[in-house]
């Protein structure tokens, strides 16, 4: 399990080919799912309040975030429908 930190715009101290996976942590939140869509990918993170947060990344750059989802399926549906 790796730990990643961001500045809100990109992952810090990360090589371009090194990307977070399930059970890693990003900004102290555990990655519970990941979905790839071409050049972009989404990380679904468990927030401390047990809600779900989604980070959309292009390599190491964060191009979108959304938090406060009630459950993982709602977050994945929002990502796949382009709402994030």
The alpha-helical segments, DSSP class H, found in 1-84 are 72-80
Task: Give the pLDDT confidence score for residue 62 in this predicted structure.
Answer: 95
pLDDT at 29: 96
Report pLDDT for 38. Answer: 86
Phi and psi, residue 33, nearest 5°: -160, 160
pLDDT at 16: 73
Domain ranges (residues) in the chain: 3-80
Whether residue 3 is predicted with pLDDT greater than 90 in this model: the reply is: yes
pLDDT tens track for 15-70? 877 889 999 999 999 999 999 988 899 999 999 999 999 999 998 999 999 999 99
């Amino acid at each position: 399990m790796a730990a990643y930190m961001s500045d809100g715009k990109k992952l810090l101290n990360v090589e371009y080919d090194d990307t977070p996976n399930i059970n890693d942590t990003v900004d102290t939140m555990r990655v519970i799912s990941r979905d790839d869509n071409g050049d972009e990918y989404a990380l679904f993170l468990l927030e401390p309040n047990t809600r779900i947060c989604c980070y959309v990344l292009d390599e190491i750059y964060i191009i979108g975030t959304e938090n406060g989802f009630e459950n993982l399926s709602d977050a994945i549906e929002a990502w796949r429908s382009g709402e994030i």
